[in-house]
Amino acid sequence: MSAAPLFEKVALIGFGLIGGSIARAAKAQGLAGEIVTTARSPKTRERVKELGIVDRVVDTNIEAVKDADLVILCIPVGACGPVAQEIGPHLKAGAIVSDVGSVKGAVVRDMAPHLPKGVHFVPAHPVAGTEHSGPDSGFAELFVNRWCILTPPEGTDRTAVEKLQAFWAAIGAKVEVMTPDHHDLVLAITSHLPHLIAYTIVGTADELEKVTSSEVMQFSASGFRDFTRIAASDPTMWRDVFLTNKDAVLEMLGTFNEDLSKLTRAIRRGDGDALFEHFTRTRAIRRGIIQLGQDSAAPDFGRSHASLPKPDGK
Amino acid sequence: MSAAPLFEKVALIGFGLIGGSIARAAKAQGLAGEIVTTARSPKTRERVKELGIVDRVVDTNIEAVKDADLVILCIPVGACGPVAQEIGPHLKAGAIVSDVGSVKGAVVRDMAPHLPKGVHFVPAHPVAGTEHSGPDSGFAELFVNRWCILTPPEGTDRTAVEKLQAFWAAIGAKVEVMTPDHHDLVLAITSHLPHLIAYTIVGTADELEKVTSSEVMQFSASGFRDFTRIAASDPTMWRDVFLTNKDAVLEMLGTFNEDLSKLTRAIRRGDGDALFEHFTRTRAIRRGIIQLGQDSAAPDFGRSHASLPKPDGK
């Protein structure tokens, strides 16, 4: 006989890359007696029904959260406040409410006022993703060996935090707890600034006069193509990230600009030693990330390479 | 019976990622009667002997190029001039001399004066690589489906160009011919600027006061880790690239900085529409690169994901 599931009813609001991956993983691990999903667009709801991963697809957020023990908002950060306001009066007493947003200060500020007493609010951010989006993009292994950061407000019920922690651990994640402000600063440098830079340079390359877009794409294997993967991420999600984590992003951008000026000056002056010193230092960070199991040591991220053509005349 | 090899004797000066990959591929395809290699450091020469890929490892550049029909300099751009000066008087009449440098204007300027009449100079740049370096890092499939750009000076013997073209095609590359100046502009945006940006941001992340390096590495899966791969590339090679392609890099950097200012302003003003429009546009470039076969459509470059842990109590 299997053990009782961690939650009787789990409601997922939104079924994109993250919501869809949580659903697949929770199903695979038997973490919920029932998984109920909704999504804003009828087309997505229809697709989720076809996929047959969750137990029930319902038309409204209110219907979804009814009697749910765990409610996770898997929607863009900017939509979290209005949805909290909508579902607040319909939440079951003792329910845990969480989210998956990449920004935490704004989510706490927007959602907390709408959640009734007796409901446990435990914001979360699984630090995992791909450049794909939509209901078909998720997969059960997305969170394995990735971090999930919880940012419970002071005084949150400890049992509720531990239960959400157990949920994330069961779908493979390592869990860390920090304040929303510190989270937003850490993610500004590890995620938001890299995305902004990638979005910028891909846009720059697309608008040059002297080099055509087709040349840019053709010769992209020399570095550029890595940036295009990041700059292919979901536009709505990323718009919201920059609007809601403005201060931390602008702070990191200031430091980045100073550092870019220094390297630019070294190039302008032909200071090879300064360049060499800098380029040697950054290699060490890569090694650290690989040692921590956060990336593959295989060259080119382990991208596959096609075989050589058959030699002529053999 | 096999066909005659394309070249009787091929000399590779330098045995890093590119030289080592050319050696492995040329061997696999039977393109050379004999492959002779040398490298500056005795340690590398020793390792190349152990690897047993090439026919002969010799101690000096002069010895390597003796009687060679094809000589390829597989060394950092900054070393090409002095090596051309050294080998010039020892080249066989009718030999083809090439290189693999990421910058072409400077290589032509530095090498051409030292090459005698009757030797065919056909500079080349295979647009392929990984973040690894050294004699063990190469592999025979590196150039498959990648572009190799040739930049022969005006008036170069057409047969020599075609022969080098056949060599690169036989190890899987697609060949394009352009002027050194245009090459340097194209690569400034597709390769050199992305590397500069990646080197910068990885350095920035390493020196923050409010976020520790260990946090940066831990939460790197949210975008940052892609940049660290590029910023782990060979420091000597990249120092030389920025010293020798200064003008084109600074020009692209100027445009990039303007574009970054525009996006920064949109963030500061909370202009969500401008951000959304930009982020939507850049997605199209990614699609183009995948259609051209220059990257994988698999999420996360096809990085492998570990399996879920076994569900409890089952």
pLDDT digits (tens, 9 = 90+) for A63-99: 999 999 999 999 999 999 999 999 999 999 999 999 9
In whole angstroms, how far apart are CA B173 and each of A214, B18, B297? 18, 13, 21
B224-283 per-position pLDDT tens digit: 999 999 999 999 999 999 999 999 999 999 999 999 999 999 999 999 999 999 999 999
Q: Do A172 and B147 touch (CB under 8 A)?
A: no
Residue B129 has pLDDT above 70, yes or no: yes
Average pLDDT of each block of 10 consecutive residues along chain A (314 residues)? 84 98 98 98 98 98 98 97 98 98 97 97 96 96 96 95 98 97 97 96 94 94 92 95 97 97 98 97 92 91 85 54
Distance between CA atoms of residues A224 and A217, nearest Å:
8
Asked if residue B137 lies in contact with residue B19, where contact means CB atoms within 8 angstroms, the answer is: no
Least CA distance to A129: which residue of chain B?
Answer: B222
Task: Measure in Å the smallest separation between the Cα of B84 and chain A Cα atoms.
Answer: 22
Calculate helix-pair angle for A235-244, A193-206, nearest 10 degrees: 120
Whole-prediction pTM value?
0.93
Per-residue model confidence (pLDDT) at position B303? 86
Asked if residue A87 lies in contact with residue A60, where contact means CB atoms within 8 angstroms, the answer is: no
What is the complex's ipTM, to 2 decimals?
0.92
Option in A28, A204, A227 nearest B259 (CB): A204
Residue B5 backbone dihedrals phi, psi, to 5 degrees: -65, 155
Per DSSP, helices labelled H in A30-140 are 42-51, 61-65, 80-87, 105-111
Least CA distance to B6: which residue of chain A?
Answer: A312
Distance between CA atoms of residues A126 and A150, nearest Å:
9
Q: Which of A135, A140, A134, A133 is nearest to A49 (CA)?
A: A135
Q: Which of B297, B114, B203, B233 is nearest to A259 (CA)?
A: B203
Distance between CA atoms of residues B93 and B73, nearest Å:
18
Asked if residue A164 lies in contact with residue A96, where contact means CB atoms within 8 angstroms, the answer is: yes
Q: What is the mean pLDDT of residues B288-292?
A: 93
The confidence band for B304, taking pLDDT boundaries of 50, 70 and 90, is confident
- Cβ neighbours of A202 in B, within 8 Å: 282, 285-286
Q: A–B: how many Cβ contacts below 8 A?
A: 413
Residue B3 has pLDDT above 80, yes or no: no
- Measured from the Cβ of residue B144, the count of other Cβ atoms closer than 10 Å reads 17
Option in A187, A216, A305 nearest B222 (CB): A187
In whole angstroms, how far apart are CA B7 and each of A239, B91, B163, B216? 56, 15, 9, 50
Per-residue model confidence (pLDDT) at position A273? 98
B164-174 per-position pLDDT tens digit: 999 999 999 99
Q: Report the residue of B141, B279, B289 to disrupt the A interface, i.e. the one with the largest count of A CBs within 10 Å.
A: B279
Q: By three-state DSSP, how is residue B297 classified?
A: coil
- Measured from the Cβ of residue B195, the count of other Cβ atoms closer than 10 Å reads 23
Per-residue model confidence (pLDDT) at position A302? 86
- The β-bridge partners of B34 are B9
Q: Do B243 and A309 touch (CB under 8 A)?
A: no
The confidence band for B222, taking pLDDT boundaries of 50, 70 and 90, is confident
Q: By three-state DSSP, how is residue B306 classified?
A: coil
Q: What is the mean pLDDT of residues B57-83?
A: 98
A20-60 per-position pLDDT tens digit: 999 999 999 999 999 999 999 999 999 999 999 999 999 99
Q: Do A131 and B300 touch (CB under 8 A)?
A: yes
Pairing of strands A124-126, A120-121: unpaired
- Cβ neighbours of A236 in B, within 8 Å: 276
Per-residue model confidence (pLDDT) at position B305? 84
| Domains of chain B and any CATH numbers | 7-178 (3.40.50.720), 182-294 (1.10.3660.10)
As a whole number, the mean pLDDT across chain B is 95
Q: Give the residue, B304 or A230, on which the prediction is more confident.
A: A230
Q: Which helix (H) or strand (E) holds B12?
A: strand B7-13
Least CA distance to B24: which residue of chain A?
Answer: A308
Per-residue model confidence (pLDDT) at position A312? 57
Residue B11 has pLDDT above 90, yes or no: yes
The confidence band for B1, taking pLDDT boundaries of 50, 70 and 90, is very low
Q: Which of A142, A143, A289, A284 is nearest to B219 (CA)?
A: A289
Name the token pair of A103.
């920004």
- Cβ neighbours of B151 in A, within 8 Å: none
Q: By three-state DSSP, how is residue A174 classified?
A: strand
B22-43 per-position pLDDT tens digit: 999 999 999 999 999 999 999 9
Distance between CA atoms of residues A125 and B148, nearest Å:
43
Per-residue model confidence (pLDDT) at position B312? 56
Q: By three-state DSSP, how is residue A33 classified?
A: strand
Per-residue model confidence (pLDDT) at position A2? 56
Asked if residue A179 lies in contact with residue A151, where contact means CB atoms within 8 angstroms, the answer is: yes
Name the token pair of B280.
């939507």
- Cβ neighbours of A172 in B, within 8 Å: 306, 308-309
Q: What is the mean pLDDT of residues B291-310?
A: 88
